[in-house]
């Protein structure tokens, strides 16, 4: 539709822990023996300190690799699991990414295709829309011993859209909307209620989606045989292959649904698959992307020469490789609030967050912005009126100095088994940033055997604490090891 | 530098409650217990006290935010009572208030009382508390052992000491303190332990096991101070005078600046230098007779031996293993059992250390009395955590020392 606009960049985030489906099934087999057929592979699970906001931040950071963040003019966060019903979730993401205050931001919700729908909106805005960051993120929540618990996964993906030199041109899209209630979740409810899978497969995937894809192929005037990648985020075995066959799309074009090692990440899934596809795509490829939920979205892209020049990033494959196999099903239940462990008196500490303090310090807290003395170059966190430099206590000379993208090294550490943590022991210590500045911080995603003074760390946006009395989530940054062994190592 | 207060203030009397799990008493009652001993020792009447300082570190489980509970409990004669709080260094802070009041001439006789009621929290260890709404957003609310455990990895890294060697030296620290505490009737923990018990104890915060951590206790301690002249007038013959009193507070350099490697206490080194200058001590390893340090954790005591310039940097762990700080060693450390075994009722600890040094200098320490007559005794009282803390050093001694 607009030859000059399209996808500028992509990013992905998959939480590190990969819960083995065999462990889920083993715990529930006595009750739900019928789940055995799904007890293969692993699913991504967010840690206790991750949610759809923190995962969105990580995917967005990956997506913005090599881009000037000052150019972003709009941000959207699509999810059906926004942590806040009334506090702009994308506003938190904006602060964490230290984007300009002068941007628009929007939370998009309501269906599993919220991610593709918001992407279509951004792409259709064309050059007038500026540079738009479309993020989709989902922290799935399913009842224990449900099918969803096995097939779902947590993840986030981000797509940067705008004018300039796109890596994939947007050819166009086709959408249909039908109140097809394959599942639903009322406002405030924790879990989905799902109708019979045979009906969803036949009426939903084969008919509704099949017809929409056929219509899209006709409307967008594309030869199905020339589609290089068909991204259908339906993890039910055989569905994408069946649709491709019916439409005349080559079997080889059917993209991996990431069912074996990530799971269906809901709203994030189409964008995650798109990020995975773009990572592998060469110039001149035709990519068809689908979003399904009370109707469907079909988007068509063609990659350009620019895709070969995109700066390196962790991307989907990096996020996937970061995985660590996890067999601890009870811990997973606890972290999802589905197991009420005795947490002890130390967990009773009041986490009340004054709104005034948070707003005043939002750059420090949410953006991890420190200070740099313009006179001496001293970097410090947090910034202060009077410099920490013992040789020059310069007053009022500090400028903002973002630290989130700086690597760091461990100076001191411990594994604390006494303090309350949902995932004991709690690792924390002091780190020195490359280029100056140090901080005393919590660590996340640490392996007991590899932690040592000098270990390279990077920062990640995480939940620091939850005020359970008032339902408020306190976010901050934690240090995680830079190089993490792949699963099984 | 200011010329200091050496020998301007004498200790008129001291007292200390039995430390431990004092299920039987409130904070106010513990204060009375320590006060009764001190005032009897001083040989004065309550009405002769001109000013008082009260140290308590934990508001929530104690007595609230003022000096009123002390004035009420002791029925003080409507004098100024100042409540002070400076983390675990609060006890020495209260002592400083009283000593400075006397040294300045503002008071003839001043009282310092430290008290803490920790065993009303319902759980082991120190209570979780806020450090202000700004800190709480970006800081780490770790446990005390977690904060201090970090010294170990940094120390190993700085001095090339193996994990096993350091763990063994840390164990020696605790075994020694238990041996000393066993001889102290007022101590919280009075059981002898062996190296294996320490080495194999459950991990609290790596590498600190259960026996690397001090007791968490209820207790109170008390000092009554005056000038040496007034002490003589009052008939006091066996005097102990204050030689030096220094408190040094972190200004953020360790935690925000560049250069601190996490293996030592910058504040303690600074406080030690200032205190030795004030007391006229030039060679602490030879001149200091005995020391009470803030051994909240074994590793804290170990690195503090270097920060007080008793052991050369990086060599403290060898002195420990060689028995240099044992009760029969060259410079006994924690001859009363220390925080480790005497116990650690936060607000009282700094005063308890001075109490022990006072008894030892006067030869009144009973079964645990140091055989070589001590002349100069140092106490080191630390509050906070390695990267941000308050470090207090007090030196007391015989008048001619």
Q: Is the dihedral of CA B199, B203, B204, B206 positive or negative?
A: positive
Q: In what order do the strands lie in the sheet with B80-84?
A: B80-84, B51-55, B110-117, B218-226, B10-16, B240-249, B388-397, B376-385, B290-292
Q: Which of A358, A430, A464 sits opposite B387 (nearest CB)?
A: A430
Mean pLDDT computed over every residue of chain A: 96
Q: CATH homologous superfamily for B144-214+241-396?
A: Thiolase/Chalcone synthase (3.40.47.10)
Asked if B351 is an interface residue toward chain A (Cβ–Cβ < 8 A), one would say: no
Q: Is the distance from CB of B262 to CB of B31 less than 8 angstroms? A: no
Q: Is a pLDDT exceeding 70 seen at residue B203?
A: yes
Residue contact A418–B386, C-beta within 8 A? no
State the nearest Cα–Cα gap between B294 and chain A, in angstroms.
20
What value does the mean pLDDT take over residues A74-78? 98
Phi/psi of residue A94, nearest 5 degrees: -60, -45
What value does the mean pLDDT take over residues A428-432? 97
Residues 6+ positions from B283 with CB-CB distance below 8 Å:
none
Q: Which residues pair with A7 in a beta bridge?
A: A161, A168
Residue contact A438–B133, C-beta within 8 A? no
Question: Where a domain ends, among A355, A386, A402?
Answer: A402
Q: Which residues pair with A42 in a beta bridge?
A: A20
Q: How confident is the model at residue A164 (pLDDT cuts 50, 70, 90)?
A: confident
Task: Kindly list the distances between the CA atom of residue A365 and the CA atoms of A102, A359, A433, A475, B134, in Å, as whole numbers in the listed order.
Answer: 19, 9, 17, 8, 9
- With contacts defined as CB-CB under 8 Å, which chain A residues touch B257? 378, 380, 388-390, 438
| CA–CA separation, B48 and A30 (whole Å) | 78
| CA–CA separation, B16 and B218 (whole Å) | 11
CA nearest to B121 within chain A: A345
Residues A304 and A380 reside in one and the same domain: no
Residues A300 and A380 reside in one and the same domain: no
Residue contact A412–B206, C-beta within 8 A? no
Angle at A13 between CA A11 and CA A14, to 5 degrees: 150
What six digits make up the tokens of A152? 């779902």
Q: How confident is the model at residue A185 (pLDDT cuts 50, 70, 90)?
A: very high
| CA–CA separation, B35 and A399 (whole Å) | 54
Q: Is residue A362 part of a domain?
A: no
Q: Is residue A152 part of a domain?
A: yes
Asked if B314 is an interface residue toward chain A (Cβ–Cβ < 8 A), one would say: no
Q: Which residues pair with A427 in a beta bridge?
A: A415
Q: How many domains does chain A have?
A: 3
Residues A162 and A75 reside in one and the same domain: yes
Which of A138, A182, A110 shows the shortest CA–CA distance to A43?
A: A138
Q: Is a pLDDT exceeding 60 seen at residue A489?
A: no
Which of B256, B227, B262, B255 shows the shortest CA–CA distance to B241?
A: B227
Please indicate whether residue B339 or residue A489 has the higher confidence score (pLDDT).
Answer: B339
Residue contact B137–A418, C-beta within 8 A? no
Residues A299 and A427 reside in one and the same domain: no
Output the domain CATH number for residue A462: 2.40.50
Asked if B201 is an interface residue toward chain A (Cβ–Cβ < 8 A), one would say: no
Q: Is a pLDDT exceeding 90 seen at residue B219?
A: yes
Q: Which residues pair with A399 in a beta bridge?
A: A372
Q: Is B65 exposed, middle or buried (0-12, 13-18, 19+ CB in 10 A)?
A: exposed
Q: So what's the pLDDT on residue B125?
A: 86
Q: Is the distance from CB of B178 to CB of B189 less than 8 angstroms? A: yes
Q: How confident is the model at residue A485 (pLDDT cuts 50, 70, 90)?
A: very low
What six digits make up the tokens of A387? 């410099």
Residues A226 and A155 reside in one and the same domain: yes
In CATH, what is the architecture of B10-120+218-233? 3-Layer(aba) Sandwich (3.40)
Domain(s) of CATH 3.40.47.10: residues in chain B: 10-120+218-233, 144-214+241-396
Domain residues for the domain of A377 are 369-402
Distance from the first to the final alpha carbon of chain B: 22
Q: Is residue A364 part of a domain?
A: no
- Concatenated DSSP letters of B317-348: HHHHHTTTTSTTSSS-B-TT-HHHHT---HHH
Phi/psi of residue A277, nearest 5 degrees: -70, -45
pLDDT tens per residue, range B299-323: 999 999 999 999 999 999 999 999 9
Q: How confident is the model at residue A4 (pLDDT cuts 50, 70, 90)?
A: low
Residues A305 and A379 reside in one and the same domain: no
pLDDT tens per residue, range A133-149: 999 999 999 999 999 99
Residue contact B255–A430, C-beta within 8 A? yes
Q: So what's the pLDDT on residue B154?
A: 95
List, as ranges, residues 235-254 from B with C-beta within 8 Å of A: 251-253
- Concatenated DSSP letters of A124-169: HHGGGG-EEEEEEEE-----TTSHHHHHB--EEEEEEEEESS-SEE
Residues A170 and A309 reside in one and the same domain: yes
Q: So what's the pLDDT on residue A126?
A: 74
Q: Which residues pair with A107 in a beta bridge?
A: A77
| CA–CA separation, A352 and B130 (whole Å) | 10
B343: left (phi over 0), alpha (psi -120 to 50) or beta: left
What six digits make up the tokens of B379? 């106490």
State the nearest Cα–Cα gap between A477 and chain B, in angstroms.
8
What six digits make up the tokens of A483? 């190089």
């Amino acid at each position: 539709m607009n030859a000059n606009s399209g996808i500028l960049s992509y990013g992905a985030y998959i939480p590190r822990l990969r819960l083995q489906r065999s462990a889920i099934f083993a715990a529930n087999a006595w009750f739900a023996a019928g789940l055995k057929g799904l007890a293969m592979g692993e699913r991504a699970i967010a840690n206790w300190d991750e949610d759809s906001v923190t995962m969105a931040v990580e995917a967005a950071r990956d997506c913005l690799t090599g881009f000037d963040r000052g150019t972003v003019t709009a941000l959207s966060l699509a999810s059906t699991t926004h942590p806040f019903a009334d506090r702009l979730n994308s506003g938190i993401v904006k602060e964490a990414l230290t984007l300009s205050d002068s941007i628009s931001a929007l939370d998009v919700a309501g269906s599993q295709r919220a991610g593709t729908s918001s992407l279509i909106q951004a792409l259709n805005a064309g050059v007038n829309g500026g540079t738009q960051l479309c993020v989709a993120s989902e922290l799935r929540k399913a009842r224990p011993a449900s099918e969803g618990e096995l097939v779902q996964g947590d993840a986030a993906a981000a797509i940067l859209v705008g004018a300039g030199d796109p890596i994939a041109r947007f050819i166009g899209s086709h959408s249909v909307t039908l109140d097809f209630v394959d599942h639903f979740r009322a406002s405030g409810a924790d879990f989905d209620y799902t109708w019979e899978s045979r009906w969803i497969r036949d009426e939903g995937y084969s008919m509704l989606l099949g017809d929409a894809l056929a219509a899209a192929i006709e409307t967008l005037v594309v030869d199905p045989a020339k589609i290089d990648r068909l991204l259908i985020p339906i993890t039910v075995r055989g569905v994408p292959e069946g649709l491709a066959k019916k439409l005349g799309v080559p079997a080889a074009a059917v993209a991996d649904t990431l069912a074996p090692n990530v799971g269906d990440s809901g709203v994030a899934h189409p964008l995650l698959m798109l990020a995975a596809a773009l990572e592998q795509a060469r110039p001149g490829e035709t990519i068809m992307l689908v979003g399904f939920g009370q109707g469907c979205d079909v988007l068509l892209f063609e990659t350009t020469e620019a895709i070969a020049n995109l700066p390196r990033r962790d991307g989907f494959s990096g996020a996937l490789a970061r995985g660590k196999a996890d067999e601890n099903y009870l811990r997973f239940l606890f972290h999802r609030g589905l197991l009420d462990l005795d947490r002890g008196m130390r967990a009773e500490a009041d986490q009340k967050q004054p709104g005034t303090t948070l707003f005043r310090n939002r750059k420090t807290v949410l953006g991890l912005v420190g200070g740099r003395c313009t006179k001496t170059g001293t970097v410090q966190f947090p910034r202060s009126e009077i410099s920490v430099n013992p040789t020059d206590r310069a007053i009022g000379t500090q400028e903002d100095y973002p630290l989130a993208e700086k690597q760091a090294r461990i100076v001191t550490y411990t594994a604390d088994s006494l303090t309350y943590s949902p995932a004991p022991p709690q690792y924390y210590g002091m780190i020195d940033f490359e280029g100056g500045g140090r901080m005393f911080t919590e660590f996340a995603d640490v392996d007991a055997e590899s932690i040592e003074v000098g270990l390279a760390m990077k920062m990640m946006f995480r939940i620091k604490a939850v005020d359970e009395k008032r339902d408020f989530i306190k976010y901050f940054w934690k240090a995680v090891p830079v190089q993490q062994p792949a699963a099984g190592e | 530098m200011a010329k200091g207060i050496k020998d301007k203030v004498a200790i008129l009397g001291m007292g200390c409650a039995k430390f431990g799990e004092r299920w039987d008493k409130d904070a106010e009652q513990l204060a009375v217990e320590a006060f009764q001993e001190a005032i009897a020792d001083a040989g004065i009447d309550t009405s002769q006290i001109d000013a008082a300082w009260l140290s308590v570190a934990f508001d929530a489980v104690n007595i609230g935010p003022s000096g009123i509970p002390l004035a009420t409990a002791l029925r003080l004669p409507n004098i100024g009572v100042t409540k002070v709080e400076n983390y675990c260094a609060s006890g020495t802070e209260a002592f400083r208030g009283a000593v400075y009041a006397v040294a300045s001439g503002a008071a003839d006789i001043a009282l310092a009382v430290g008290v803490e009621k920790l065993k009303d929290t319902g759980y082991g260890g120190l209570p979780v508390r806020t450090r202000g709404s700004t800190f709480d957003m970006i800081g780490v609310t770790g446990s005390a052992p977690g904060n201090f455990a970090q010294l170990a990895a940094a120390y190993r890294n700085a001095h090339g000491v193996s994990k096993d060697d350091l763990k063994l030296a840390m164990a020696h620290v605790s075994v020694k303190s238990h041996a000393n505490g066993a001889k102290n009737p007022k101590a919280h923990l009075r059981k002898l332990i062996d190296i294996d018990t320490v080495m194999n104890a459950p991990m609290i915060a790596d590498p600190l096991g259960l026996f690397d951590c001090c007791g968490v206790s209820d207790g109170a301690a008390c000092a009554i101070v005056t000038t040496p002249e007034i002490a003589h007038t009052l008939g006091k013959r066996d005097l102990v005078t204050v030689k030096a009193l220094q408190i040094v507070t972190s200004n953020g350099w360790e935690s925000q600046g560049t250069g601190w490697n996490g293996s030592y206490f910058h504040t303690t080194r600074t406080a030690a230098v200032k205190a030795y200058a004030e007391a006229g001590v030039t060679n602490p390893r030879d001149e200091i007779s005995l020391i009470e340090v803030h051994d909240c954790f074994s590793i804290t005591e170990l690195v503090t031996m270097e920060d007080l310039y008793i052991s050369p940097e990086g060599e403290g762990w060898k002195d420990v293993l060689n028995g240099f700080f044992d009760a029969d060693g060259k410079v006994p450390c924690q001859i009363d059992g220390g925080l480790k075994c005497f116990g650690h009722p936060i607000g009282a600890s700094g005063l308890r250390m001075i109490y022990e040094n006072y008894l030892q200098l006067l030869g009144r320490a009973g079964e645990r009395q140091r055989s070589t007559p001590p002349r100069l005794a140092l106490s080191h009282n630390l509050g906070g955590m390695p990267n941000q803390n308050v470090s207090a050093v007090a030196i007391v001694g015989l008048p001619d020392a």
